[in-house]
Structure formats: C-alpha cells, structure tokens
Structure 1
C-alpha cells in the first residue's frame, strides 16, 4: 500500500514538473494562447448577432440573416505584438478578417456598437485580397493586394490558413501560409483588442455559413520580427520619411519635406519664387484662377528617369485640376504646361474637364486624353482629403497607374495600340509623343490649389 501511494505521488510530481517546465518554456519564448480550446473565456461578441461556439478545439462563427458584421473580441488590450492563428472559410460568401489593435464604440449605431480599426482580410472571392490591411468602418483599404499581386495565391478556400500578423510600433506586416503579403506604416492606433470577424451576408441562403478559427496565440514580449525577403511595396503614412526596408530596396524621396531641393520651374533654371510653397512638410501650389501654367508655372525634377516606381500623395481643393507628368523632355518649347504623359488629378464631380475628352479619359488617375481610369467611387477620397497616386514604368515600357492602392489602368509605351490612341488625341501634333527614353517628373500648376507630400521614387532595372 505504501509502495502504491509512493508511485501515485511520484506520478503526480512528474506531471507537476512537466507542467512547470511547459509553462517555463512558454514564458521563455514569450508566446501565450489567446484561446484555451474549450470555451470563450477572455472573449466577447459585439456589434452583431452572428453566433460563436467552441467545438473540437475550434471557434466557429455562424452567419445570420439581417446582422451587420459581428466580432468576437478579446477582453484584453494589446500594444505591440506578434499574432499567429489559423482561419478557415468554407464558402465564397464568408468574407472574414482579424482585427489588430481593434477599437469599439458601444454607443454607435443607436447603442448597437461599432467595431473599427485595422483589420487583416480573409477574402475567399476571386479578388483574393487575403492578408491585405483594411481600416474597418473608418478609412477603408490601406493595403489592397493590387500592391502585391503575387500574394493573391496564398489563401486557400475550404482549408485552414496560417496567418502571422506583426504589429510593432507603427508598422503592420502580414503573412498568409508563409507568403509575405502586406506592409503598412501607420500610427492611428497604438493599442486595442484582437477580434475575429463573421461578416454580414447579402443573400438569405448564406445564413448558417461558418468560419473557423483555431491555434490562436500571441507574443507581446521578446518580440522577434520576421524580415520580409521579397521586395514588397510599402504603404508608408509617415510624412516624408522612408523606412529602413524601403531605403534598402532602393527607394528615395523626391521631396524632402523641408524645401524645394531637386526641383526647378519648367523651362527655368530656378524654383519659382511665388505660387509654390513648402509648409509643414507639404508642397503646395496656390490657387490663381484656373489657368494652365499662367501663374507660377509647372515644376519639374532636375533629374530625368526612364524605368521607375513613383508614389505620391495629393490633396486637391474643390473643383481643382492638376496632374503629375512623366517623360517630360522640355524639348517642345511650347506655351502653357510642358508636354508629357499625365496622371490626371481632377475633381471629377466639379471640374468640366471630366466630361470632355473621350470615354472619361480626362478623369482622375486617367492617362490624360488617352486612357480612362477604371475605378470605383469607394476608392476615391473627396477634395480636402489625401489620395495616394502611383505610376510604375517597367523597363519593357509597360506602365501602370494606381489610385489609393488599386490599379486603374495599364498600357505599353510605344505599342501600336498606344500610338493609335495618340493619333486621335490632342498629342497627335507631337512626334513620338510619350516615347522618350527618359524624362523629368512634373507637378502641374493649373491655377487651382493642390498639395503634395510623400513623393518617393525607385528606379527599376
């Protein structure tokens, strides 16, 4: 009997020591579980009527008809962290996501509550933006996967997908099934909850569709950020400041945020001494009545560029007209604005130029007078707010325009299709228009107040 009691005591001691060792290992590497695999202790559902249950070590969210987005959120708040979990979507209608530093306003929507903030997308549709960063119920898309199309193949419908989310300082990085996806630099929220989303449904027949979550763990100490190995575009919302990652991958500022260094007036040797100004890290042209280059005039980079990736932010006044031109040679010696391919900046609602041209080819983000931008209104910020533009010119002359992270057009310089468009445009009088091997970048003075910041460029080989 004594021997039996000794063996039982020894067995319990070994279990206790093993448990202590496991806890020490957990503490030593910093990871801790957010879901215990048995119940929803530490979590609460808010903002909608979808249900959450636990079965077989999984959290199961079930969609219901007539409910807005529903979130299962942690009671604990987090600042810097690395989060890993697995997520499964069984049907194409079951859009989902993971809130990172999420926020909740319980008084919103007549007391029903509103979740808002950074959300890492789970998108089972053909759009395939899983792992992208969305600002739920606030600014909309921060990182659509048009910015990293290679990552669109990472997510698998009907299978568990491994997500890794790093939120450290003002940087957010995401992975899906080991694929590097999104890189956002933004400081709007410094802490918040982790949340699991069951999206609202559009069709009654999709009621009862399920989304699954498991193996949810977080690290808030001993953080060891994982570097991106691929060359990924960074959505950087710092003002005129590059990350070390961007610098290492060849990006540099074209506007330093302090003065006009690197810029001169078009057809001039110096920067205009009126009209253009630099204040609080913003480069602006003043309003002067809407005339094309009749006031201070356009400004151009001193450098010329051939193949490049150019990103910039612009903020236009109501009814404004302006543009960013590229492959500007200054060889035409024309009156008015210097000649070049133009990324159109325009208030489509208030400026008459939007209804001129052909098939909308003078609207915002279009290749002016040549190719209309294919864009949705929800990706356009109104006058007074900042929009993000991007122009990519590959060494093979393929060109892309982006607006707020979404690709709106593409074409090939010098192709027959391009030349046919030039032949029926206002540019037909210029020989070999748009086909120069290199040229300046130009910011246009079209007589309306427009501001620029975060102008950065990377040369492409």
Structure 2
C-alpha cells in the first residue's frame, strides 16, 4: 500500500488553481471596466461634423484625410460622457497634420451660419517643433489652458510618424493627460461637465497638404469605478477655480497667499499694517481702487510679510482700460525711497492705451516684461485685454535663473547677477541702486499705481 502524500502536496494543485482562477476573475473584472468606442470595422456610434474632411476605416484603423479650405473637422461620438478615463493611439505623418482629441466636447449645429461649431476641451496633437502635444486647449473658446511651456520635459513625449499612446483622465473638475506613459498636463476647470469624445482633422490652407492622414486606433473608455492615476512628478497645475489648491498642489508645497477673505499674508509697504483704504476684497477678489494714476502715492503698495529666495509665484490679474501696475520681487524695503518700493518687476500694463508701453528701451516696459530691463517676447493671441483675467507667473530657481510667464507661455528668462543682467541694469533707471535685484531674498509686492487692478489665485511655492 503506498504511503500517504503530505497534506501540503495534495493541497498545492488546488491552491494554485484557485489562485489562477482568482487572478483571471480579477483581470476579467478590470477588462470589463473598459468599453471599446471603435469596433475596428466601421464608424458606428460616430459622426463627422463642422468640416468636410473625410474619415475612413482602413485595416482596423480610423484614418482622417486633410482637405483644403474647410474648417476643422471632428469625428464625434453620438454618446456623451461625464467622468471618464480615455485611452487611444494616435499617429501623425506630416507636419501640417495638427490634430487633437475632444474631451467633454460641445457642438452648436447652428453656429457659423449652419456649418456648425465644435468647442471645448481638446487634448493637443502637435507635430511641429513647438511640441505641445498632450497640452490642453479650449477649442473655439478660451484658447490655451495648458501650453507645454508649463511642462517642457513633456515636449519629447510625442513621436512623429509613430503610434503614440494617449491617456486622458477627466474626473470631476480635473483633466490630466499622459503620452506614451509620460505625465503631461494637469488642469482644474469646471466649464463643461459632460460632452462627446472627438477626433480632429485640422483645417489646412495649402492644397498640397490635402490628403495627408491622421490615424486613430485602440479607442477605449472607462466610465465606472474610476480610480485617478497619481502623478509622480511635480507638475504645475493650472487651476481656474477661485483661490483654491488641490491636494496634489498642497502635497508639493504650494500655499495660498490670499484665500479670498483675509489679507493676513500682506502688509503695506513701509507700514506696520495693511492699508486702511484703497485695497478691498469683494467676492473673493483683491482689488486696488483707481485714483489719479500716481505711483504708490494714494493707498500704497502691499508686500508679503514673508520673504522669499527661490520660489514659484503664480497670480491672476485683471486690468481696466489704460491701467498700470506690477508685481515686484526681491523687495528688501531697505531703500526707504518715495514712490513704489524697489525691486525686480513683472510689468502689468494695458499696452494699447498706456504711454509707458512706448517708453523705456525696445518695449521693455510692456506687459509681462522685466520692467525697464527685458522685453517680454509674447504673441497677441496669448494676451487677454482689459476686463479679462490673465495668468501671470514668476519662477526664480536656486541657481538664480528667472522666468516670467503670461497665460502659460514663457515670455522672459534671464539670470540674476549675471554680467548680461548687470549690463542691462547699468543702462536702466535702476543703475542708481547698488546691486539692484541681487538680494538673497525679499518680499513679493503688488503695486498701487493709481489704476484699478484686480488680483486672485495668488499662490507660492518655495524652491530648493
């Protein structure tokens, strides 16, 4: 009679079978959360709108053909979606074939005299040297929300002439994007809660580019039991809310300098308290009232109580017609001068209507410039006029590199204390101040220049 086998040997096959079945069950459950939006055979569930470019199915792939002299054409889902995770592959073979993916897209069939208009969140596919693929664009509405100047490391993610894997999370107010596994963009915005998924063939004006192809495949979506994928890197977040930070931002060291209710973080320049009048809070907005246009001669500048060395400071501002103001940094308050306190200045100005725009040297007193030193290299399409909110940003790195941004686009860069910087100071109004702009730390300042200007979403992060 054979000897009995040890119990664990008898049980082992059953345990392995159970583990295998459990793994299969879990995998099936995960797979069933994904739903295919393209069956690989035809365009069932989709329709082309707004333009005349053609979409075909070839070898299990959706192919969009560029057509000259027709507006942007979109292949959109007949179904609308709220929260979702979308994954797909996209390929571009020609530099003229700008494309994108609409997320919660909107469509007005009556717009443009009945031709129809697609608008809303679009995740960019940019084959040009600008390389803003994966950035977030508000199609036919507000323009760029997240240009890739805000995350230059991601500019290398998109591969021309190759299949690129996109992941797009749209959950609640948050939009997050990845290309080929690389983290790209992070936007917080609540303009659209639902909408369609859309694939774009961009308009072209040159007939020689007609027929160029854009390819889409492996389009799938999750709409239930969504689990946001955490970003591992420290990305800048574009938050269009009012004086709020995400948990992600807080975890990466960001702090609000204005919560919409209190001016606790600020004090009057050369004063022991916050100005008693002229600076007011209404509906979460900090406003300096307009008077006679004089420089800090009415209510006075305000400065942060805390000093900063290396930092990232973001702020939203809105000017009135003809307004002049500024955001200064490395303000030491040691000069005891009259007028505005001394410091490096991010210029805030109505370039079209204020005479200061034509003064200085070669435009170095225009909006977003390093005042009286370096002109901001900006395009008109990235400037919001009086009555509209602009997003400003100043970054000072520990190695003294400095950057100015306007609405997500880098417009100024220089190195504090470099010979080039000192040469510019020597021919500026600041030449009378010893070691101007080279203090190891200083206050941040919002300027009263006698014009009405509004501020919100003031947030700062110390850099190490």
With normalisation by structure 2, the TM-score equals 0.94
**Of the candidates 239, 244, 251, which is equivalent to residue 241 of structure 1?**
244
SS of the residue corresponding to residue 109 of structure 1 reads helix
SS of the residue corresponding to residue 137 of structure 2 reads strand
SS of the residue corresponding to residue 150 of structure 1 reads helix
| Residues 1:363 and 2:334 aligned together | no
SS of the residue corresponding to residue 356 of structure 2 reads helix
SS of the residue corresponding to residue 315 of structure 2 reads strand
Work out the number of aligned pairs and report it: 441
CA distance in 2, matches of 1:27, 1:108: 41
CA distance in 2, matches of 1:184, 1:314: 19
SS of the residue corresponding to residue 327 of structure 1 reads strand
| Residues 1:413 and 2:454 aligned together | no
Cα distance, 1:25 vs structure 2: 2.9
Measured against aligned partners, the alpha-carbon deviations of 1:376-419 in whole angstroms (never above 9, x if no partner) come to 00000010000000000000000000000000010000000000
| Residues 1:227 and 2:230 aligned together | yes
1:165-244 alignment runs, 5 A limit: 165-244=168-247
Instruction: Name the counterpart of 1:279.
Output: 282
Contact 1:26-1:32 within 8 A present in 2 as well? no
Measured against aligned partners, the alpha-carbon deviations of 1:150-200 in whole angstroms (never above 9, x if no partner) come to 000000111110000000000000000001000000000000000000000
Instruction: Name the counterpart of 1:62.
Output: 65
1:58-457 alignment runs, 5 A limit: 58-457=61-460
CA distance in 2, matches of 1:65, 1:409: 37
Cα distance, 1:330 vs structure 2: 0.4
Cα distance, 1:27 vs structure 2: 7.5
With normalisation by structure 1, the TM-score equals 0.94
SS of the residue corresponding to residue 197 of structure 2 reads strand
SS of the residue corresponding to residue 146 of structure 1 reads helix
Measured against aligned partners, the alpha-carbon deviations of 1:352-395 in whole angstroms (never above 9, x if no partner) come to 00000000000000000000000000000010000000000000
SS of the residue corresponding to residue 164 of structure 2 reads strand
Q: 4+ residue stretches of structure 1 with deviation over 2 A? A: 24-29
Contact 1:266-1:298 within 8 A present in 2 as well? yes
SS of the residue corresponding to residue 268 of structure 1 reads coil
Cα distance, 1:30 vs structure 2: 1.1
Cα distance, 1:202 vs structure 2: 2.7
CA distance in 2, matches of 1:227, 1:259: 32
SS of the residue corresponding to residue 39 of structure 1 reads coil
Unaligned runs of 5+ in 1: 1-20
Contact 1:266-1:297 within 8 A present in 2 as well? yes
CA distance in 1, matches of 2:156, 2:32: 31
Instruction: Name the counterpart of 1:15.
Output: none
SS of the residue corresponding to residue 246 of structure 1 reads helix
CA distance in 2, matches of 1:221, 1:388: 34
CA distance in 1, matches of 2:67, 2:440: 58
CA distance in 1, matches of 2:459, 2:34: 38
SS of the residue corresponding to residue 44 of structure 1 reads strand
Cα distance, 1:130 vs structure 2: 0.2
Instruction: Name the counterpart of 2:12.
Output: none
Instruction: Name the counterpart of 2:43.
Output: 40
Cα distance, 1:225 vs structure 2: 1.2
CA distance in 2, matches of 1:350, 1:258: 32
Instruction: Name the counterpart of 1:9.
Output: none
Cα distance, 1:444 vs structure 2: 0.1
Contact 1:29-1:222 within 8 A present in 2 as well? no
Cα distance, 1:224 vs structure 2: 1.5
Unaligned runs of 5+ in 2: 1-23
